[in-house]
Structure 1
Amino acid sequence: MKNSTTTWLSDSVRAGGAHVTGVYRYATRNGAIDALDVAAVELGIGMRELNEAVDQLVESRLLRAVDGAARRFIPVDPQVAANSLVSSVEREIYQRRELIDQIRERIDVFREDYGGPASAPAPIEYLVGSLEVRGFLKMAGDACRTEVLVLQSSEDDAEELAQAYLPLLSRGVTVRIICQHRNRADLSTRMKLKQLTDAGAAIGTVSHIPRSAVVFDRSLVVLFGLADGETNVARVHHDGIVRFLLDLFDHLWDTAMPLEGAESGYANVADDLRQAIAGLMAKGYTDEVVARKLGMSVRSCRRHIATLMRDLDATSRFQAGVQAARKFLASGA
């Protein structure tokens, strides 16, 4: 099946993309294409070639019309355009997989008549590959009606968070996200998370999250992983596992420190971070291992360790870890 995305790509390859690239560069250089006739003169191409290039750029989401009557266009970030195009392909891939599953399920009804028991749906199903995973998440998000609960580990990007959950918030879906304290360290990351809080999401941070997971409408659990360098997820339909994930999320949410805005840096969570660092130091982990487990840079980790050792007047990392762990335990931190 040949969709508009495939058609545009093949047409661009045949045409060499010369005018398309030049017109896009013109738009980015000038901030917009305000008048097509002026643009054609300045680019030294005919109106027909210009219109064809503009139409291709609009179809590829690289140009956006802001005045249809006057034919005025503004350029779009290529990453945003790519995400828009790819999402439709991702959705199609997952829809095809769903169709295959539905066909198998309908045919299985006749298995007993043939002489064998019908197969029960697996409590855990795996999807492998970024396209299939994204397609499934897009479908799950579209089907979500009331609530999304998110555990976001250190390997994930705040930009993807915003792209995934802003559309749900705009539909009135409740979104609660727990991510790691490390997200407070970088201003650009905090600004991206602020997009979500401004849209109505509630975000809290904790010292460590071992693995990412999402719960849609308190019924479908998605566990994220990485196998042989490929993204994969597990769709969990088992009631016991779903209940466990919900209890885990509620426990972490009760202990999480709210992220209240772009200004919410490390200061508010310093004690919690040092408590986690102290516990790992007491187990004899190296700076590199402690930093990796907490999802922070080795430099930041060593800065916290140095502060702990200075405050406790400790002569070794192990001694500082044990003393700090005892101190936090005694204080009820």
Structure 2
Amino acid sequence: MAVYLRALVDGEFRWDGAAAVTGMDKDEIAQCRDELLVNRLLQLDTADGERLLPVNPEVAAARMAEPMEETIRVYREAVDTSRERLLQLMPAYLGRTVSGHVPGGLEIITDAAEVQLMVNQAAAKCSREMMTVQPGGYRDPAVLEAALPQDLAAVQRGVRFRVLYQHTSRTQLSMRSYVSAIVEAGAQVRTADQLAERMFIFDREVAFIPKRSQPHQAPGAVVVREPVLISFLCALFDQFWVSAVPFITDGPGYQNVSDDLRRSILDLLAQGLKDEVVARRLGMSVRTCRRHIASLMQELGAESRFEAGVRAAQFGLLTREAEE
């Protein structure tokens, strides 16, 4: 640094000037000069081949980086070429994925009994965390009774067990009994107005999602083991979980969720959806859904659904999406 700064003052590298500011002998100054040359901070004067002139550090840095950047460019081109060549095999890989099992990836199970068996086995092996999404309203009491011992065993061995249901499941007595038992053991249960699809995630390592590319497709499941997809599904669950409401079993069925449910009905009606679609989205029967709609229209003093939507917007009862 001292030799370079003195060269800036002198306008060139000088032995006597470098010796004056550093107190070093000629060999040590020569080492400094050579290092400055290697780092492109000194260069030969084109008019006088014996003079060494100081170089702008920005220019020196650019000259130092130029061969490295060329090397990087060559490697980048090689990477792009290799990637393009390898990605030509993706159609074959995806074709195999949708028709069978790929280790560490996806597995398609078409038999409902086999799906249930695999889910039960994964639950029995689960040691850290279990996340479940169960859309729909009414649950088969026999299924709840059969699931209770296994779910209690998981919680008792230290598994963090979180379950999401829809609000409409709160009115079912057998469901409230089941939830009360697992919550008392240490599980966490919440409900939301709408949920997308059924999903099971075990230890953030394996997940089960419906094998459904079209509505009302035959039962089956996709078993996911690919880490990136698992991470995405866990993030999706957490997003639903944050906005859901704790399931309270020692009170009225719709305690602390009635406003949420009513707003959801208004939002779906404002989107122009039919009663059957609204009922399916909220996990309730069409008859119950129509009873709620009639009650809302009466409270809003509306004679038509359109008028109910207008009044709901005026009262600020709709979400922004529904208003649009």
Q: Provide TM-score, normalisation by structure 1.
A: 0.58
* Equivalent-residue separation in structure 1 for 2:123 and 2:294 (angstroms): 44
Alpha-carbon RMSD: 2.9
- Cα deviation, 1:244-298, whole Å, max 9, x if unaligned, reads 2111111111111101324351132111111111111012222222112211122
- 1:68 match: none
CA displacement at 1:238 relative to structure 2: 2.5
1:204 aligns with 2:190: yes
- 1:173 match: 159
1:120-135 to 2 correspondences below 5 Å? 121=103, 123-135=105-117
**Percent pairwise identity:** 37
CA displacement at 1:145 relative to structure 2: 0.8
Amino acid across the alignment from 2:242? D
8 Å CA contact retained: 1:162, 1:192: yes
1:206-245 to 2 correspondences below 5 Å? 206-225=192-211, 230-245=218-233
Q: 1:325 to 1:203 in 2, by over 3 A?
A: farther
CA displacement at 1:301 relative to structure 2: 1.3
* Equivalent-residue separation in structure 1 for 2:266 and 2:149 (angstroms): 35
CA displacement at 1:237 relative to structure 2: 1.9
Amino acid across the alignment from 2:293? I
Q: How many residues align?
A: 215
1:267 aligns to what SS in structure 2?
coil
CA displacement at 1:317 relative to structure 2: 1.3
Structure 1 segments of 4+ aligned residues over 4 angstroms from their partners: 225-230
- 1:141 match: 123
1:249 aligns with 2:237: yes
CA displacement at 1:231 relative to structure 2: 3.2
8 Å CA contact retained: 1:204, 1:258: yes
1:1-333 to 2 correspondences below 5 Å? 121=103, 123-154=105-136, 157=140, 159=144, 161-225=147-211, 230-324=218-312, 327-329=316-318
8 Å CA contact retained: 1:211, 1:223: yes
8 Å CA contact retained: 1:214, 1:221: yes
- Cα deviation, 1:132-159, whole Å, max 9, x if unaligned, reads 1122112211221111011111175461
Bigger radius of gyration = 2
Amino acid across the alignment from 2:109? L
Q: Provide TM-score, normalisation by structure 2.
A: 0.59
8 Å CA contact retained: 1:147, 1:173: yes
8 Å CA contact retained: 1:147, 1:217: yes
- 1:20 match: none
* Equivalent-residue separation in structure 2 for 1:266 and 1:241 (angstroms): 34
- Cα deviation, 1:194-225, whole Å, max 9, x if unaligned, reads 12112211100001112100111122121135
8 Å CA contact retained: 1:152, 1:179: yes
Amino acid across the alignment from 2:317? F
Q: 1:229 to 1:166 in 2, by over 3 A?
A: farther
8 Å CA contact retained: 1:162, 1:193: no
